[in-house]
Amino acid sequence: MRTIEWKDGVVITIDQSKLPTEEVMLEFRNCHDIALALKEMKMRGAPLIGVAAAYGLALTAYHSEAKDKETLLRELEESASLLKRTRPTAVNLFWAVDRVMRRAYEVHGDLDDLREAVIKEANRMADEDVKINRAIGKNGAKLLDDGDTVLTHCNAGSLATVDYGTALAVVRSAIEEGKHISVIADETRPKLQGARLTAYELMRDGIPVTLITDNMAGYVMAKGLVDKVIVGADRIVQDAVINKIGTYTVAVLAKEHGIPFYVAAPSSTFDLVRRAEDVIIEERNPEEVTHIGSVRIAPKGVNVLNPAFDITPLKYVDAIIYEGGVLTPSDVERIVQEGKVRP
Amino acid sequence: MRTIEWKDGVVITIDQSKLPTEEVMLEFRNCHDIALALKEMKMRGAPLIGVAAAYGLALTAYHSEAKDKETLLRELEESASLLKRTRPTAVNLFWAVDRVMRRAYEVHGDLDDLREAVIKEANRMADEDVKINRAIGKNGAKLLDDGDTVLTHCNAGSLATVDYGTALAVVRSAIEEGKHISVIADETRPKLQGARLTAYELMRDGIPVTLITDNMAGYVMAKGLVDKVIVGADRIVQDAVINKIGTYTVAVLAKEHGIPFYVAAPSSTFDLVRRAEDVIIEERNPEEVTHIGSVRIAPKGVNVLNPAFDITPLKYVDAIIYEGGVLTPSDVERIVQEGKVRP
């Protein structure tokens, strides 16, 4: 099953904030509710955020009562602006919204042609995401050896995408090739995507997974239990990979132990006109740190930091796996010098 | 107030498993309940574990119905054996039990002299712990500069000791000298001693503290927010410091960022006749990882690692602060070559 689906003007997804204890399906009929679900991380993961945003615009197009193209375009612009305010860091959001809007402005036909074009573009992006992830998996699988244990952080799996995943696509693809691969999943505080989502989807798919707390990463590496690290990305800039908080800590540990550190992400995650210092690192609600569910785990009123992402300089990255192949940091440098946004 | 107190055959402490949401006092009247509370980590922290064990023997001595010294000595041996089975890693436990038992065997007088000697030794060890921690604080304070922010892991504060703490003694002492010191506390999964205990006792004492999840340690160091790292220790062996899981990860990060990494611990934590490979790393219940309080945060039946401690090789340690001064790794090497257990 896909993580997100379009059916006759309804967007259907699973509420990731409730997994793994409850499997609750959500149905969205307007862009506002999509935006809220993104903010509240009921849907998360850079590729999924992109496709969800595209579907947000599709919902606006489908349900609009506009009588002419100009009115619908204005409504789409409002939806686009609303969506772009939900999460500042993952670039796929901006890329997806801009792509749908560009398509909308290209439509030469009438109001119904515009509606259809927007919905079609969103569906095309969802289909493309699955194909891209399959390609990422195939390209990355070459980097894994039979018997490898892969440490991953956060969830860059099928739940972070329309299907198949990015980092976990590499694991899935290697397993489909007949290799025996196990996964160690960092729980990934504060929102525990590793414990709640990565462990869940790997167990569901019969892939061996061991859960650790984030601070055990050094211990398992020192014990020789980790052969490769693969993580996803929220944005890849000229000098760094921006990904879920804790990724940088894992990257430093991997370097110290001589363990290859790979990033798996679609080309839409690249933003090679920017440097890390140009990117807003989203600071989220302190209660994500001080509470787990409704349980308070820290003193009332304690000062808290809660950056949702961190910055891993490219010197810690051995390779970036995308749908077009495998890039080294010097490949990235070359693409930057060519002035391109993405490979 | 001391974390542990003896009053007429009753040992009084605060239930650390309930902090910071509930301040529940516990009263122990027998060694068995002390042992259980250690196992369940209602009391934790290497120095406190040692003193609590000594008080466990004191309770046996106080409440025994033995009619002669030999019977009481046999009962004390049983209590000693019970206590030593509670936690395998912190050496202070074994040191404290052995010290009280040695004292017991030295008593030349009658049954009442034996009772009194055991109780007196336990009380002496509690008093000594506070003096030792003050000395650790004073020795370590020289390493802190006005305006420093100290990152600490787990709780090596007054709650981990009879009073004043070890790592946090250094912070307290520097502040008493007039320096402005802030603390960044790792929350320290799985049992969250940083969030629950370190944040709690520093807020109570008016010392500025900011709470982070463990995986933010790399981020705050890369941002230049950390000047020094100070942690406690559960056992210091010839080649490494064994301390709460996650300490090693922090040490690697500190090295990568050129941040001094200090360990603060009493001499009773040294065990320089052993190497790291000789020490049992306690593996605790997987539910500590899969649940927070009664909230399940991972799929049912997921495979979990839960080592309570990790091993930080001395090459990552800039200095060990103890009651006798400040030791570099080469000082430790010298003491090892002299064949001594502790400095």
Cross-chain residue pair B293–A292, CB shorter than 8 Å: yes
Whole-Å CA distances, A212 to A186, A196, A223, B81: 5, 12, 14, 32
pLDDT given for residue A293 in this prediction: 81
Q: What is the pTM of this model?
A: 0.97
Whether residue A208 has a cis bond before it, omega within 30° of 0: no
Burial class (CB in 10 A: 0-12, 13-18, 19+), B336: middle
Q: Which of B135, B198, B212, B205 is nearest to B175 (CA)?
A: B205
For the record, the structure tokens of A297 come out as: 């785990």
| Contact list, A20 vs chain B (CB under 8 Å) | 298-300
Strand partners, A229: A151, A261
Quote the distance between the C-alpha of residue B318 and its chain's center.
Answer: 20
The full set of domains in chain B, from first to last, is 4-134 (1.20.120.420), 143-337 (3.40.50.10470)
B85/B162 Cα distance (integer angstroms): 22
**Is A234 a catalytic site residue?**
yes
ipTM above 0.85, yes or no: yes
| Contact list, A209 vs chain B (CB under 8 Å) | 302-303
Cross-chain residue pair A20–B187, CB shorter than 8 Å: no
Residue of B188, B213, B293 lying closest to A295 (CB–CB): B293
Q: What is the pLDDT of residues B100-154, one digit of tens each?
A: 999 999 999 999 999 999 999 999 999 999 999 999 999 999 999 999 999 999 9
Q: What is the pLDDT of residues A265-282, one digit of tens each?
A: 999 999 999 999 999 999
Strand partners, A240: A313
| Contact list, A151 vs chain B (CB under 8 Å) | none
Residue of B203, B222, B292 lying closest to A292 (CB–CB): B292
Cross-chain residue pair B210–A293, CB shorter than 8 Å: no
Mean pLDDT taken over chain A: 97
What 3-state DSSP class applies to B98? Answer: helix
Q: What is the pLDDT of residues A305-318, one digit of tens each?
A: 999 999 999 999 99
pLDDT given for residue B294 in this prediction: 83
Cross-chain residue pair A189–B189, CB shorter than 8 Å: yes
Q: What is the pLDDT of residues A249-261, one digit of tens each?
A: 999 999 999 999 9
| Contact list, B240 vs chain A (CB under 8 Å) | none
Evaluate if residue B323 carries a pLDDT over 90: yes
* Annotated active-site residue in B129, B186, B234, B239: B234
